[in-house]
Amino acid sequence: MVSIEMIVAARARLRGHARRTPLLSSPFLDEIAGRRLFIKAECLQHTGSFKFRGGWSAVSALEPEVRARGVIAFSSGNHAQGVALAARLHGVPSVIIMPDDAPKLKISNTRALGAEVVLYDRAKEDRDAIGARLSEERRLTLIKPFDEPQVIAGQGTTGLEIAEQAEEEGVSSAEVLAPCGGGGLTSGIALALEARTPGFRVRPCEPEGFDDTTRSLASGRIERNATLSGSICDAIITPQPGNITFPILKRLAGPGIVVTDEEALRAMALAFTRLKIVVEPGGAVALAAALFHGEQLQEDAAIVVTSGGNVDDEMFARALALRG
């Protein structure tokens, strides 16, 4: 359903629009991790996360007359910003449905990027029903956050870059650690690496208590999270792996790695000091896995995706304060 050809085609559409983010490193992090680490800094992507890739891929793949009517998305924030900016740069309207407890910065950024933001109550309202009603009324095209082939193809362009950049660094064998919510990024990267560097295995990383993908990979079938609130890693909290993404992950990725919230915060602080990048909690779980759960890795090198950097001042200060 998603092929390497779709990822290559997405990359052609993204050229000149998405950023080829750098692969960073630090001898200090290598020492903590006990192996060579290469950090794919997707927090430096437009809108502060990899989601711009999938948003641009999906919006640019639409037929012009369909695209002109506008797009709609539901998102806790990063997908929202990615779709909003992609729509604005295409000159078409966007409606974004967001939970009313999403970080203020993500809500205000999404509005500032030209989207109409519709807030809903995560506990009481059904976002799918709201989305279905609005898209029908206004004939908007729904851009799903992960279970959508063109979105996965867009995220997969991260994997094409990882394959190229690893070769530039002389890395011929590595595990690729990526934060995993619904699995759009991890499955897209897995497909790209299957075609380009088959020796690179993808390891999905998740926060404790929201390890649906790790458990699903272990049991071989889709498992749900018990709850959807209470994590600081808002960007990667989803009910369960996607129907399109999970079969890809089952075939190509895992086992998953689970980190604590405190480990994610410590990884944020180390990324600040050693890499000079800003990472949000959900975007830092793969770095936390590489730094603090190295015993679960096999290879001498790990490539770590820091997937987003949209974090409020207060949460960032909390990460820095942790090491006092």
* DSSP code of residue 252: H
Distances, alpha carbon 270 to alpha carbons 97, 188, 259, 304, 308, in Å = 33, 27, 15, 14, 15
Residue 276 interacts with its own copies (CB under 8 A): yes or no: yes
Q: Which stretch binds its own copies (CB under 8 A): 136-144, 176-184, 203-211, 265-273?
A: 265-273
Minimum CB separation of residue 306 from its own copies in Å reads 9
The 10 Å Cβ neighbour count of residue 26 is: 17
Q: Which stretch binds its own copies (CB under 8 A): 119-127, 189-197, 215-223, 268-276?
A: 268-276
The 10 Å Cβ neighbour count of residue 293 is: 17
Residue 277 interacts with its own copies (CB under 8 A): yes or no: yes
Closer to its own copies by Cβ: residue 120 or 272: 272
Residue 320 interacts with its own copies (CB under 8 A): yes or no: yes
* Element spanning 36, H or E: strand 36-41
Residue 118 interacts with its own copies (CB under 8 A): yes or no: no
Is the separation of the CB atoms in 216 and 246 below 8 Å? yes
Closer to its own copies by Cβ: residue 143 or 279: 279
Residue 113 interacts with its own copies (CB under 8 A): yes or no: yes
Tokens of 16: 């000149």
Residue 19 interacts with its own copies (CB under 8 A): yes or no: yes
Alpha carbon distance 95, 279 (integer Å): 26
Residue 275 interacts with its own copies (CB under 8 A): yes or no: yes
Which residues, 6 or more positions from 171, have their beta carbon under 8 angstroms from its beta carbon? 36, 38, 301, 303
Residue 195 interacts with its own copies (CB under 8 A): yes or no: no
Residue 43 interacts with its own copies (CB under 8 A): yes or no: yes
Instruction: State which of residues 105, 134, 228, 252 lies at the interface with its own copies (CB under 8 A).
Output: 105
Residue 12 interacts with its own copies (CB under 8 A): yes or no: no
Q: Which stretch binds its own copies (CB under 8 A): 22-30, 142-150, 197-205, 224-232?
A: 22-30
Residue among 205, 202, 203, 209 nearest 223 (CA) = 209
Q: Which residue is associated with the tokens 């600081």?
A: 232
The count of C-alpha atoms lying within 13 angstroms of the C-alpha of 121, restricted to the half-sphere facing its C-beta, is: 3
Q: Which stretch binds its own copies (CB under 8 A): 123-131, 148-156, 208-216, 277-285?
A: 277-285
Amino acid occupying residue 216: S
Q: Which stretch binds its own copies (CB under 8 A): 3-11, 13-21, 186-194, 198-206?
A: 13-21
Closer to its own copies by Cβ: residue 258 or 268: 268
DSSP 3-state assignment of 238? coil
Q: Is 137 exposed, middle or buried (0-12, 13-18, 19+ CB in 10 A)?
A: exposed
Minimum CB separation of residue 124 from its own copies in Å reads 31
Residue 32 interacts with its own copies (CB under 8 A): yes or no: no
Residue 10 interacts with its own copies (CB under 8 A): yes or no: no
Is the separation of the CB atoms in 81 and 310 below 8 Å? yes
- The string of DSSP letters for 163-223 reads HHHHHHTT--S-EEEEE-SSSHHHHHHHHHHHHH-TTPEEEEEEETT--HHHHHHHHTS--
Instruction: State which of residues 66, 68, 112, 218 lies at the interface with its own copies (CB under 8 A).
Output: 112
Residue 279 interacts with its own copies (CB under 8 A): yes or no: yes
Interface residues with its own copies (CB under 8 A) are 19-22, 24, 27-28, 41, 43-44, 48, 85, 105, 109, 112-113, 269, 272-273, 275-279, 309, 313, 316-317, 320-321, 323
